[in-house]
Chain A
Amino acid sequence: MKLYDYILSPSCYKVRLMAALTGVTLDIRPVDFHPGAEHKGAELLALNPAGSIPIFVDGDLILTESSAILVYLAAKAAPEWLAVASAEEAARVQQWLSFSGRLTASLGGARLTEMLLRPGDIGALQAQGVLALRELEAGLVEQSLRGMRFLAANRLTVADIACFPYVALAPDGGVSLDPYPAIRLWSRALRGLDHFIEMPGIHRLHELKPEPHIEAGEA
């Protein structure tokens, strides 16, 4: 399973994170997205005419939508992440997988504009990002009232992984996460998982390790 990957892409990170959490080994092929625009070159356009990343290849299967890649990894390695125990759970998973596209368009767009100078109406992107975050916050509040810790169920599903990266990186696009306590708790729960991996902009939870005993001169 080969992933055409960019280290700063939240959508590529979804795939890397899902693989790490479910113990799947990926063959990573780094793509010079910025500044090289390699995703717009002939080799990658042959795989994905849309000119976007990630691109996931397994045999003759080519997937270019991150949600589809998450579903594929889950179905292969960790079916419990698909949460099809009830009609409601299955629907919630689909609801948040689709919703994650709005996070990409709004918060992801704001991040590309603010950080990598891509053209965009930053005010509008940030405002749409705030609306999406409010929806996610309300969804998490309601889930917690139902006794559910995660977006679609009382356990992690692909929906959580689909939504987490663009949300956690919202500050990169100038959108603060301070107003969303339920999102922050959910984000911490994800970041505290065994086998969790980071990406630049998402810092290590240093509290997970005990205070080291340090003596002067030891370093």
Chain B
Amino acid sequence: MRLSHGFVRGEALSCIYHGWSYAQAGNCLRIPAHPGLVPPETIRVATHVVEETDGVIWVAAGQPEGGPPRLDGLIPLRSLTAHADVAAIEAAAGVRASAEGVVDLAQSPGIIRLLLSAQTEGKTLIHVLIKGTADPTAGIAASRAAESLRRKAENLHTKGIAP
């Protein structure tokens, strides 16, 4: 079972299946089937370095040297998954992504920046950023623009036109 199916009480994350709970360091705190047992050190889950900045949660692969990139007054609008690879999204946006997966859309109205994260099966997770000063109407327009961009990218991906 993935722990994401589980639940958080206080500072512990518990598995939905048998209720084993884990501390932030990844060590097992409690095995409900054996309340008297102190879980041995060997029972651990993998942990990752996580940081929250500017409303975005960043997870590090391995041990990062510095903190996550700053977003310069941008705020996260929403995250969506495209059944398209990064190349198809670049083609749809008409802009190449940086090595970190950042797509700058300063030219297009509404959406300011995309953060792309390649997933399995040719899917891509897209985080949409807008100006922190945007009003709800601008936010809604940006959200709809992101849907259109995804449709375009998925069409390109399906037809195999993406470079």
Contact = CB atoms under 8 A, between A and B. Distances in A.
The A interface is mostly helix, strand or loop, or mixed, namely loop
Q: Name the prevailing secondary structure of the B interface residues.
A: mixed
Which of B9, B12, B37 is the most central at the interface, judged by chain A CB atoms within 10 Å of its CB?
B9
Contacts of B117: none
A141 B36 contact: no
Contact of A146 (B5, B14, B77, B136): B136
Interface in B17-44: 19, 21, 32, 34-37
Given A179-B80, A206-B9, A145 B35 contact: no
Nearest to A146: B136
B78 A141 contact: yes
A211 B12 contact: yes
Contact of B7 (A134, A145, A207, A218): A207
A205 interface: yes
Contacts of A216: 34-37
A137 interface: yes
B140 A145 contact: yes
A210 B77 CA distance: 33
A211 to B, nearest CB: 5
Contact of B32 (A145, A179, A214): A214
A46 interface: no
Contacts of B32: 214
A200 interface: no
A218 B14 CA distance: 21
Interface string A192-218: 000000000001011100110011111
Interface of A: 134, 137-138, 141-142, 145-147, 178-179, 181-182, 203, 205-207, 210-211, 214-219
Given A141-B77, A179-B125, 19 more contacts: A134-B147, A138-B147, A141-B143, A142-B140, A142-B143, A146-B140, A147-B136, A178-B81, A206-B7, A206-B9, A206-B14, A206-B16, A207-B9, A211-B9, A214-B35, A215-B35, A215-B36, A217-B36, A219-B35
